Amino acid sequence: MAIRYTRPYDEILDELSEALATIPDCYDTFEMEAQDWAELTQAEKDVCIRTLADDLFYVLGAEKSASAGSGSVEYDKTHHVIKVVSTPQLVHIVGLREKA
């Protein structure tokens, strides 16, 4: 299974990265400690999160869902979106289709 999308890939990654950045302990995905993450510059954090977004996009092409720190991501094939659950109260929807 592959993820089908019509939006530009970079736009999807930008939005997915923004959503992943809201997961309080997304650094755990990199097997980092909170202190190590805090010592990174914002530019370094942005690169890590962008890489994570890219990796998760391809993981979701093979698996329906994956974890990212205490959050999760899920590919909803029916609605052509990726759902990012940052906390139980915060869910981001990343559209995969070009907006009309």
pLDDT value of position 27: 93
Q: What angle do CA 19, 24, 30 make, to 5 degrees?
A: 85
- The pTM for the full model equals 0.93
The one-letter amino acid at 65: S
- Name the token pair of 77: 């094939």
Q: Say how far residue 67 (Cα) sits from the centre of its chain.
A: 9
pLDDT value of position 59: 95
Each of the 100 residues of the chain gets a pLDDT tens digit; together they read: 689 999 999 999 999 999 999 999 999 998 999 999 999 999 999 999 999 999 999 999 999 999 999 999 999 999 999 999 999 999 999 999 987 6
pLDDT value of position 14: 97
Q: How many residues does the chain have?
A: 100
Q: What angle do CA 34, 38, 41 make, to 5 degrees?
A: 145
Q: Quick one: which of 22, 23, 4 has its CA closest to 75?
A: 4
